[in-house]
Amino acid sequence: MRNGQSVRSAPGNLLLCMLLVLAALMAGFLAVQPASAETILYRNFTLIDGRGGPAVPNAAMLVADGRILWAGPMAGAPEVAVSVDLGGKWVIPGLIDTHIHIGNLHDLTQDEKFYSPENVEADLRTYGSFGITTVAIMGTDKDSIFQIRALQRAGRPMMTRIYTAGQGIVFRGGYGGVPGINRPVATAKEAAAEVDAQAAKGADYIKLWLDDELGTMPKMPPEISKAVIDAAHRNGLKVYAHIFYLADAKRLVAEGIDGFVHSVRDLPVDQELIDMMKARGVVQVAATLSREAAMFAYGSPAPWLSDPFFMQSLSPTALTLLASAERQRTVAGNPTFPRYPAFFDMAMANMKRLAAAGIRYGLGTDSGPPGRVAGYSVHWEMELMVRDGFTTAETIRAATLYGAEVLGAKDIGVLERARWANFVVLDADPLKDIRNTRAIRAVYVGGTQVPSVKR
């Protein structure tokens, strides 16, 4: 991770943010390329399109100017001048992480002073190299993110695409977010005004935190969470919430919430919550199983610390810190540490029950804060879902089609006509073993191959 300089943005200081982003663009950081007249046929691979049907062996896909024109058996492929032989590999849609944080981390220190267009760009390249071609940032962005997103959507980016909540809403003095970025509110009026401000900037959705950190901090009162939800809906935006407790999940569903970005972790979800969620169309945006596992995994030497696939996601300093006995003792010495495995088990059980009941879900990791590793965490999340009883096909759909549906994105998530050519080329079959999603040969965003991250 490269050091970034602080970008202190406020609603009245958007011009400065824009100038900084444009300067980064001139330096090549954002790597948005204009549409070209290229038409390429990718051939000789097994297609797993994201919809859950049978894999198509000996397949082909025609891509023009970054979008898919046709996909199917190679025998039916149109003739074109340029083709790329993928050598019998497997192709899946680009993966979607529906819950991340970005740009605020240097090694294992999280602070708003690190947030910059350059740091955001570095994180996006890391995600892209791991096959994650779309991310949803949950409430810890500065205003410069809106210019970065605008530049992406104006052309064909060469890196992971972003959706953002801008600055999330927290209760003043309470739990959540990154200090200096998030918007603390004390009244319903303040809450509505902050939502209006995020909507005016162009937020894709609104994020709020409802938690008391196991009774150690004040919790957002109902009148404030209801004001956030009502203001967001008035602005035509959905609201996604950080929750921990079953009772809080029920309260927010009654208030009109649109989705949860974590599993309930204190108690088993009951039929009352399931019925409420189904009746109101509330989605499980992300279960963040890998986040729950990461809370205790680094209290001892984690076996993947020497895995080259894991190691490419972090700086040498961060890897050294995670592997140090001193840090492991600090993690294990947290008074709450003994409770984390039970929270993880509850998250696993509740995710499976909601899915079995027909609740819509995506796949998200809450990666970005220290120890929740960008890129790698998606593959860990997928492995945990399979351990939780999901099939490999269901897990791939969670990370592709379902993620796109949660975000309301109709041009990603599936490899079919008119969608962006966001895809991952794998050396092994992920339907046989979900860990084969780590056997990445190449990643394409909008038909452009993403470079590997070199640290």
- Percentage of the chain exceeding pLDDT 70: 91
pLDDT of residue 34: 41
Read off the pLDDT of residues 196-254 as tens digits, 9 standing for 90 and up.
Answer: 999 999 999 999 999 999 999 999 999 999 999 999 999 999 999 999 999 999 999 99
Residue 455 has pLDDT above 90, yes or no: no
The token pair that represents 380 in the structure block: 């860990």
Mean pLDDT of 174-184: 95
The token pair that represents 40 in the structure block: 């390429």
Residue 171 has pLDDT above 80, yes or no: yes
Is residue 295 classed exposed, middle or buried when 0-12, 13-18 and 19+ CB atoms within 10 A define those classes? buried
pLDDT of residue 453: 64
Read off the pLDDT of residues 428-445 as tens digits, 9 standing for 90 and up.
Answer: 999 999 999 999 999 999
Q: How confident is the model at residue 18 (pLDDT cuts 50, 70, 90)?
A: very low
pLDDT of residue 454: 53
Residue count of the chain, please give it: 455
128 Cβ neighbours under 8 A, 6+ residues apart: 159, 160, 443, 445, 450
pLDDT: is 270 or 33 the higher one?
Answer: 270
Phi/psi of residue 404, nearest 5 degrees: -65, -40
Read off the pLDDT of residues 381-409 as tens digits, 9 standing for 90 and up.
Answer: 999 999 999 999 999 999 999 999 999 99
Report in angstroms the alpha-carbon separations of 250 from 188, 223, 256: 20, 15, 10
Q: How confident is the model at residue 157 (pLDDT cuts 50, 70, 90)?
A: confident
**Is the model's pTM score more than 0.85?**
yes
Owner of token pair 């938690």: 211
Residue 21 has pLDDT above 80, yes or no: no
Q: How confident is the model at residue 158 (pLDDT cuts 50, 70, 90)?
A: confident
Contact 167, 205 (CB under 8 A): no
Q: How confident is the model at residue 29 (pLDDT cuts 50, 70, 90)?
A: very low
pLDDT: is 360 or 26 the higher one?
Answer: 360
Mean pLDDT of 334-354: 98
What is the rounded average pLDDT for all residues in the chain?
Answer: 92
381 Cβ neighbours under 8 A, 6+ residues apart: 287, 288, 289, 290, 363, 364, 365, 399
